[in-house]
Structure 1
Amino acid sequence: MNAPASLPQFQPDEALQHITRQWDADIVRQLTDYIAIPAKSPMFEADWQALGWIDKVVQNAADWVRAQKVPGLALEIIRLPGRTPVLFFEVAATQPAAGQTVLMYGHLDKQPEFSGWRSDLGPWTPKYEDGRLYGRGGADDGYAVYASIAAVQELQRQKLPHPRIVGLIETSEESGSVDLLPYIDALRPRIGDVGLVICLDSGAGNYDQLWLTTSLRGNITGTLKVEILTEGVHSGDASGVVPSSFRIMRQVLDRLEDSANGRLLPQVFHCEVPPERIAQARATAATLGDSLYARFPWAHYDCQGGTQFALPTTTDPTEALLRRTWQPTLSVTGAEGLPPLASAGNVLRPFTAFKLSLRTPPLVDAAACVAEMKALLEDNAPYQARVTFEDVHSSDGWNAPAMDGWFQRALNDASRAQFGADCGYIGQGGTIPLMGLLSQGFPKAQMMVCGVLGPKSNAHGPNEFLHVPYAKRLTAAVAQVIASMPATGSEPVPQAGAEAARGHA
């Protein structure tokens, strides 16, 4: 009796060679065109529908996907009234016993321009230099749909069986995914039983290995406004009688944050860090070391003793990692009521307004924090000033579920094959609203949350870039993980204490 034929095995070197050619010949050009389009998210562009930039990047991506002629692929652009569109595709399974679905996610909307770009760079003027594609949105994360399809193409080119694959590419992520839930509800019957989620909207600790995101912080944004007058008045005439709106703003913020150390005062903003995440942070800190804080563009100046640099809140790598992933933090990201320095006269201003961005730990309820913030900031205002916290948006954080054995093995195998090192595990300080929704809807699914936002890639800021060599290897690693997905689930891997530290070095 003849033995059954063995299944074909994924060929990682061949995959990287072919994917590299595809990126160089086609995908880099597609992303160059994408960067040039100012498809700002609705929070930053109220006239997004009339301008048509979001529709354009979605249509361009759809046209490219259709042009690939992937066997078994169906694609459509879905538009609900008054909402940003989504791109949805399905690829039929070639693995006969594969009952579960792979869901691939990304987004095409972008953050606004920001200032401080290098003189030869700009948010909408793409430039490819030394393996880096500069410009807004290429890494965060316009590349996702192109890399996803390239990974599927490689599986089919190698004639490897794969499960059913669906793709969901949204266009309101940078606005907190405000339009996503209605699409999830509408598409739920078509998404299917998800066994693996691949989200390409996250970061990397370095460019030397595959990195899996283990947690994400939540986010609360809103406008805090303090009004004391109906119009500006001469500061010499009014100061001393009329309180400064800026001083009132300081007092109000002191209710929320200890300005001496940045600690958020209400307990509702804090949670206990799970032991396995502490163990992972120690292991990752041992790998990344001082780069966890040294990689930022610290202000510096010359002084008598040499160059003086601004200092981080901590120089302990483990503590730095935990602070940016499991600690709540408050940032002021914008202001109104303050004239530019060149036109700032001796006027006591009628109001001060700040745009606040508050990051919440992964296990904290963002809605409860919003209620606490409104009461804390608005009630009993000093001098009976009018204090409002409005235009509020919030998203919960996310903590990854336990890993199945096949998934952990597949990640390490793919990382070794493409980078020569085990997969790294790291929490991220940013927010991906979809992940909480998916974890609730598909509690047994494995979550491959990863991305290209490594050191100095500077998403949302000036000189943002996509590290193309890393993106090529990540694309190949994604294909390899999909190829490793079994038809049925497997056993979870323990993730506590020393075992987690060994498994996630």
Structure 2
Amino acid sequence: MTLHDLLAQAVDDLLPRARSDLAHLVACRSVFDRAIEPVSQCVAAASLTESLFSETGLATSTMRTPDGSLAVIARHRMKGRPRILFYTHHDVVPAGALSDWDGNPWVLTERDGRWYGRGAADCKGNIVAILTALRAVREVLGRLPTEVGVVVEGSEEQSSGGMEALARERPKLVRADAIVIADTGNVALGQPTFTTSLRGTGSVRFTVETMAAPAHSGKYGGAAPDALQALVTALASLRASDGSTTIDGLEADGVWPGAPYAADLFAQDAALLDGVAPLAGPGDPHDGAIADLLWARPAATVLAIDAPPLAQVTAAVQGRARAIVNLRVPPHMDVVEAQRLLGEHLERHTPYGRTEIRSLSLGRGFAARTDGPAYDSMRRAMRAAFGREPVTTGQGGSIPLAVALQELHSRAEIMLLGVEEPLCRIHAPNESVDPGEIQRTALAMALFVCSMAGLEPGDDLPDP
């Protein structure tokens, strides 16, 4: 039988174990925020994760990172062989209102062939995919044929930088020839996908002040400088009616070289209302217009505004108003310079009043180098596992650790992939994962481990 056939059978046989492991992981309410869930839940998730990887024969340990979270470190050493590092995380976002879920978010539940639960896809589904891959390789070959490391951090969703800080303090922990960041996924169910671009990000707090206190709109309205109106006027200048970002001096004509994003698929993924079309940017819409806006051009988004809520309305002109504006930029763009241009634009387009711009966050973008031998190995592995040619996509979110790993180990090939796809609804109620996606991703990872050791999917092997 071929290596592909043997590994595919092993992964199939291991799928019930993957479901059991995922159920136990989902049961850990591992939100890294003691105000939401007890610390013991994160400790339990880390302990379980370490135990599971220990069972695969890796030497494991749990390390406390500078932000107080627990990272699981596992390693199979094999001197002189290529080194692979798998990364993912065991923490999750809060479940939110339980009434928004069709079941208990902390109990893995199967409905219509999908497995539901908080973290089922992001990212505990990726944990079990890695586990299944390593188990399958050991079952078929009797051993791991190359050096393999695993890092599973515990605070990724909080963006508190625990694992990034630990990696910078101890770069040998994350040294590898090929790094697989299992924290993204496929553009569609069953379509193998590399995420090759992550936007840089920066948020600012924008304040407009005009009066020491609100003024009665009947007595002063018309002549009183309305801070809220000034704020809204400045915010409106950030985007054109076609959706393009219009920050003075900021390039906004990039073209995405990877797979396009069909308008109907985007409308479905983003849950657009009937009769509402996606923004397409300037000029005639084309197949790549949405992908251009998402991954090749900057985008400014108003995240929040401080203004009186409707329930507390009074007849008053506001003397102070604030907003949080988030800017996302493609990885080739200098995010520091872009944030500066954003601030200057807001000040310039505020018609009256005093303004203050304060930087709240800043994160560099990431662009993968995709022309190396490890990428070629993973392409072959994904093609064999999914039966389809892989495509490339971008992602709006930032993964600071990807940037740190690129800086620490510039020669390493870093690839982003995983079990997620649009139907997973990560970070939302009723998060789920398709078990077939875990199966296919695990098989691709198993084939990749073997390929890095010189074994290819079509190689004939004796039955184990």
What's the CA shift for 1:176? 4.0
Cα distance in 1 for residues equivalent to 2:343 and 2:396: 23
Cα distance in 2 for residues equivalent to 1:450 and 1:439: 16
What's the CA shift for 1:111? 4.0
Alignment of 1:77-116 (within 5 A): 77-80=63-66, 83-94=67-78, 97-98=80-81, 100-111=82-93
What's the CA shift for 1:313? 1.5
Cα distance in 2 for residues equivalent to 1:398 and 1:363: 8
Cα distance in 1 for residues equivalent to 2:237 and 2:93: 30
Asked if residue 12 in structure 1 is aligned to residue 7 in structure 2, the reply is yes
Aligned-partner SS, 2:427: coil
CA contact (8 A) 1:197 1:445 kept: yes
AA aligned opposite 2:114: R
Decide which moves more: 240-249 or 344-353. Answer: 344-353
Q: TM-score, normalised by structure 2?
A: 0.84
What's the CA shift for 1:354? 2.4
Aligned pair partner of 2:265 in 275, 278, 291: 291
Which residue number corresponds to residue 56 of structure 1?
Answer: 41
What's the CA shift for 1:188? 0.7
CA contact (8 A) 1:74 1:91 kept: yes
AA aligned opposite 2:87: Y
What's the CA shift for 1:183? 0.9
Structure 1: unaligned runs, 5 residues or longer: 1-5, 41-47, 301-308, 489-505
Distance 1:113 1:344, change over 3 A: farther
Asked if residue 75 in structure 1 is aligned to residue 75 in structure 2, the reply is no
Aligned pair partner of 2:406 in 420, 439, 464: 439
CA contact (8 A) 2:76 2:148 kept: yes
Distance 1:116 1:76, change over 3 A: closer
Which residue number corresponds to residue 126 of structure 2?
Answer: 144
CA contact (8 A) 1:62 1:87 kept: no
Cα distance in 2 for residues equivalent to 1:466 and 1:230: 53
Alignment of 1:123-142 (within 5 A): 127-142=109-124
CA contact (8 A) 2:196 2:415 kept: no
Aligned pair partner of 1:473 in 425, 433, 440: 440
Which residue number corresponds to residue 411 of structure 1?
Answer: 379
* Amino-acid identity (%): 20
| Per-residue Cα deviation, 1:438-493 (whole angstroms, up to 9, x for no partner) | 222222222231123312333334443323321232122212212211479xxxxx
| Per-residue Cα deviation, 1:280-305 (whole angstroms, up to 9, x for no partner) | 33xx56xx6742444431113xxxxx
CA contact (8 A) 2:7 2:137 kept: no
Aligned pair partner of 1:366 in 330, 335, 342: 335
Which residue number corresponds to residue 39 of structure 1?
Answer: 31
| Per-residue Cα deviation, 1:418-437 (whole angstroms, up to 9, x for no partner) | 32222222222322222222
| Per-residue Cα deviation, 1:140-187 (whole angstroms, up to 9, x for no partner) | 223333332332222222224332222223344334453343211222
Distance 1:169 1:236, change over 3 A: farther
Distance 1:55 1:330, change over 3 A: farther
Distance 1:166 1:61, change over 3 A: same
Distance 1:53 1:126, change over 3 A: farther
Alignment of 1:318-357 (within 5 A): 318-339=288-309, 341-357=310-326
| Per-residue Cα deviation, 1:319-360 (whole angstroms, up to 9, x for no partner) | 222221112112222333331x34434333443332322211
AA aligned opposite 2:7: P
Cα distance in 2 for residues equivalent to 1:116 and 1:241: 48
Decide which moves more: 200-209 or 461-470. Answer: 461-470
Which residue number corresponds to residue 495 of structure 1?
Answer: none
Decide which moves more: 215-224 or 169-178. Answer: 169-178
CA contact (8 A) 1:62 1:77 kept: no
AA aligned opposite 2:47: A
Cα distance in 2 for residues equivalent to 1:255 and 1:143: 42
Cα distance in 2 for residues equivalent to 1:324 and 1:290: 15
Cα distance in 2 for residues equivalent to 1:178 and 1:270: 30
Cα distance in 1 for residues equivalent to 2:172 and 2:373: 28
Cα distance in 2 for residues equivalent to 1:334 and 1:468: 37
Residues matched between the structures, number: 449
Alignment of 1:191-340 (within 5 A): 191-192=174-175, 194-254=176-236, 256-258=238-240, 261-268=243-250, 270=252, 272-273=254-255, 278=257, 280-281=258-259, 290-300=264-274, 309-314=275-280, 316-339=286-309
Structure 2: unaligned runs, 5 residues or longer: 456-464
